[in-house]
């Protein structure tokens, strides 16, 4: 069967047009379906953007290990804020750890002594602690936060240490029972003894007495909570230097957040 050339050409042209029209319709339908997928239903809240990559980056930054440079920067920052770090040498040793514990106590953080990325960030943005009182150089023992401040004559808190004071529990010594209390009040350094001092309750390292038998002294155990019989325990690694720094007669303020009453003035009776 033979077809006329013109008829054959018209037939092929019609087929090509039909195929082109079908392709255009398919393309429009696909675009419509994709657009409909993003149409918001009435009352429906818009979808939040995908924040997973941002959150993942933040988690990665927080979990990023601290470098040796970070530890040195943390040690320097603690020293700048007045915490007793000793020589800033980049070594994260017992003195550095005790300085960090004192910082965590002052800032109300968990008292771990561990320098984490989160603690490091808080440290970089912290301020120097303020003393309870200014004026002459003195010592402040904060019973609530369990820290000791050495205050300079210009009212600046320096040499901040973690301490452990009386735990409040009854104990028996030399035949009589009393409570393990570090009494708030105003005192003065009365006596200093170099080296070890043996007492009925144990040995004290470089004790600095401020109230009868109560002293600030080095001890092998300085937990983050009150644990002593009434003395103020400080870390062994700083006890000798503390002994050398503090003069006899220096005022000592023991407080629970409020200033103790002033010492009574004893009138001089003329002879």
- Hey, what domains does the chain have and what are their CATH numbers? 57-124 (1.10.101), 138-255 (2.40.440.10)
Residue pair 102/162 in contact by the 8 Å Cβ criterion: yes
User: How far are the Cα atoms of 68, 74, 82, 83, 146 from residue 116, in angstroms, in the given order?
Assistant: 13, 11, 20, 18, 22
Best mean pLDDT range from 5-19, 58-72, 175-189, 252-266: 175-189
Could you tell me the two tokens for 1?
């069967």
What was the pLDDT predicted at 175?
75
Tell me, what's the pLDDT at 268? 47
- Residue 152's Cβ-count burial label (10 Å; 0-12, 13-18, 19+) is middle
CB atoms within 10 A of CB 29: 10
**HSE-up (13 A, CA, CB side) for residue 227:** 12
- Report the distance separating Cα 132 and Cα 57, nearest Å: 42
Structure confidence at residue 42 as a pLDDT band (50, 70, 90): low
Tokens of 64: 């990023």
pLDDT (tens digit per residue) in 122-160: 999 999 999 999 989 999 999 999 999 999 999 999 899
Q: CA of 39: how far to CAs of 32, 42, 44, 88, in Å?
A: 11, 10, 10, 62
DSSP single-letter state for residue 35: H
With beta carbons less than 8 A apart as the criterion, state whether 88 and 76 touch.
yes
pLDDT of residue 196: 96
Q: Which two tokens stand for residue 196?
A: 């070890």
What is the average pLDDT score of the chain? 84
pLDDT of 217 strictly over 50: yes
Look at residue 90 and tell me whether its pLDDT is greater than 50. yes
pLDDT at 33 over 50: no
Distance between CA atoms of residues 91 and 115, nearest Å: 13
Nearest residue to 192 via CA among 210, 218, 219: 210
Residue 37 has pLDDT above 60, yes or no: no
pLDDT surpasses 60 at 39: no
Which residues share a beta bridge with 141? 148, 254
Half-sphere exposure for 20 (CA within 13 Å, toward CB): 6
Instruction: Evaluate whether 211 touches 187 at the Cβ level (below 8 Å).
Output: yes
pLDDT of residue 151: 97
Return the number of other C-beta atoms located less than 10 Å from residue 248's C-beta: 11
């Amino acid at each position: 069967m033979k077809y006329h050339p013109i008829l054959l050409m018209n037939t092929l042209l019609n087929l090509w047009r039909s195929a082109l029209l079908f392709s255009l319709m398919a393309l429009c339908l696909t675009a419509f379906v994709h657009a409909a997928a993003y149409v918001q239903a009435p009352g429906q809240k818009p979808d939040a953007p995908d924040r997973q990559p941002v959150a993942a980056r933040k988690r990665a930054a927080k979990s990023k290990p601290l470098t040796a440079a970070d530890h040195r920067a943390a040690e320097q920052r603690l020293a700048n804020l007045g915490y007793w770090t000793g020589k800033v040498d980049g070594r994260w040793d017992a003195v550095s750890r005790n300085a960090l514990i004192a910082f965590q106590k002052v800032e109300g953080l968990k008292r771990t002594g561990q320098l984490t990325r989160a603690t490091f960030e808080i440290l970089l943005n912290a301020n120097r602690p303020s003393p309870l009182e200014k004026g002459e150089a003195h010592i402040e023992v904060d019973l609530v936060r369990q820290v000791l401040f050495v205050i300079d004559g210009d009212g600046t808190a320096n040499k901040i240490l973690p301490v452990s004071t009386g735990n409040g529990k009854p104990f028996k010594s030399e035949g009589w029972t009393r409570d393990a209390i570090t009494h708030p009040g105003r005192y003065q350094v009365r006596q200093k003894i170099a080296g070890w001092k043996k007492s009925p309750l144990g040995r004290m390292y470089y004790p600095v007495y401020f109230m009868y038998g109560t002293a600030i002294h080095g001890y092998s155990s300085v937990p983050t909570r009150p644990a002593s019989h009434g003395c103020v325990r400080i870390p062994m690694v700083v006890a000798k230097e503390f002994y050398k720094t503090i003069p006899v007669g220096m005022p000592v303020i023991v407080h629970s957040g409020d200033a103790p009453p002033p010492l009574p003035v004893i009138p001089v009776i003329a002879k």
